[in-house]
A = this chain, B = another copy of it.
């Protein structure tokens, strides 16, 4: 078992027969420094030969900024879509030399400050809002950018708000486009989902002819059946569900009542989870191009870190309806 010691830039310098400064200049390709190709190669070779890995801690300490982008996850269960978004975001940021990490778990477990203090990120993304104090503290500590994706609007551009609204619009448009005049909205049971549900519902409101009949639908066939029963009694013929799971619940509820979609009740979900196409009947739903969304988010982060202004999101093509049989 070899004695494992950390390899530092001093080791590389020694091996290459140069100073540590030179090593730094070569490895960072510092502009405005002219180093002879021969020296350069020697340094490069020494570095890779030794397997040199600069200490992120030292670099962060010195520059006051790491290349890590931290995403604070909400404490509700993250589904496929969010997972997908995170993966795409990670890929997109990697292309910019940034390391993406996500912190799951509620803010109650660990005060949010503990987390960014431990990471010293270049940017922090959050689905929910920060308090003013939190934002200030982070910026004081050198965090370049703080972005809230959803929540009450403030000085932040709520980057995810628009796509969510658009999602609702598309649902309502599809239903009204297929002749449904009286819509219902199947709201999720879990209060933590409000920050997603509210903008979606707002989108439905904006696109629907009249005010949709909102009803909370638990992920349970029996409970869902009573919601469906009432909707039908009120003459509602089309349901926009918060997501595919809620849509599946609506479908299950309808089935219990002997109703079939889309004839007795049209249902449209959100997300296009795998179970959607396997449902009875296959679920019509709305999907978001997570890759494009992630690319935009990445651009926003990079722009802000380097002081440039971020481009606007062109949301139009981001969201589209997947037509199957339920609506």
Q: Chain A interface (Cβ within 8 Å of chain B)?
A: 4-7, 51, 53-58, 60-61, 64, 66-68, 70, 73, 75, 77-80, 82-84, 86-87, 89-91, 94-95, 99-106, 109-110, 113-115, 117-120, 136-137, 139-142, 219-221, 244-245, 248-249, 251-252, 255, 273-275, 277-280, 282
Contact = CB atoms under 8 A, between A and B. Distances in A.
Contacts of A56: 117-120
Given A57-B120, A118-B66, A221 B86 contact: no
Contact of A141 (B6, B64, B84, B282): B6
Instruction: Report which residue of A64, A94, A106, A274 has the largest number of chain B beta carbons within 10 angstroms of its beta carbon.
Output: A274
B84 A245 contact: no
Given A64-B6, A118-B67, A53 B113 contact: yes
A195 to B, nearest CB: 17
Nearest to A224: B278
A141 B248 contact: no
Contact of A104 (B61, B86, B120): B86
Contact of A101 (B79, B119, B140): B119
Contacts of A277: 219-221
Contacts of A110: 90, 94, 99
Contacts of A139: 4
Contacts of A142: 6
Given A56-B119, A61-B58, A102 B104 contact: yes
Nearest to A115: B99
A67 B277 CA distance: 43
Nearest to A82: B83
Q: Which 9 A-B pairs have the closest CB atoms?
A: A90-B105, A275-B275, A57-B60, A101-B101, A57-B61, A78-B83, A99-B118, A4-B140, A94-B109
A103 B101 contact: yes
Given A100-B105, A141-B53, A278-B221, A83 B91 contact: no
Contact of A61 (B61, B86, B106): B61
Given A53-B113, A140-B7, A68 B119 contact: yes
Given A91-B109, A220-B277, A274-B245, A118 B68 contact: yes
B104 A70 contact: no
Contacts of A78: 78, 80, 83, 87
A326 to B, nearest CB: 13
